[in-house]
Amino acid sequence: MRDRALFDLAIDSKLRGCDLVRMKIGDIVRGGEIRSRALVVQKKTGRPVQFELMETARKSLRAWLERRGGTLADYVFPSRVARKAYQHLSAGAPRRGMGNRDRPAPGGL
């Protein structure tokens, strides 16, 4: 449901992924209904972009937001990664150097 809403919003808005995930519920909802038009300021360019939300996108967004809940100040698509569970891939990884036995012999392979 979340992925479908994200996909439909991406198609209608033609926004970059970083702009989609920064959207707040208040950017697309007014008076308890999904807006037919929305305005978002792009992160990369700083320019405002207005776009129309077609019925398909409004339906999937409505279904997602009814399931998700939240306030107008919340993100439409919150992260699915728990902050405590997140660990950078290289954090805590053992550091291994290249030992002599792993090096190619002088003169090539």
Residue 89 lies in a domain: no
pLDDT at 95: 55
- Pairwise CA distance, residues 62 & 48, whole Å: 24
Residue 103 lies in a domain: no
Domain count, the chain: 1
pLDDT at 92: 54
Q: For the chain, which ranges sit under pLDDT 70? A: 81-109
Residue 6 lies in a domain: yes
pLDDT at 79: 81
pLDDT at 34: 95
Residue 42 lies in a domain: yes
The helix/strand count (H/E) of the chain reads as 4, 4
Q: Note the pLDDT tens digit of each residue in 36-52.
A: 999 999 999 999 999 99
pLDDT at 80: 72
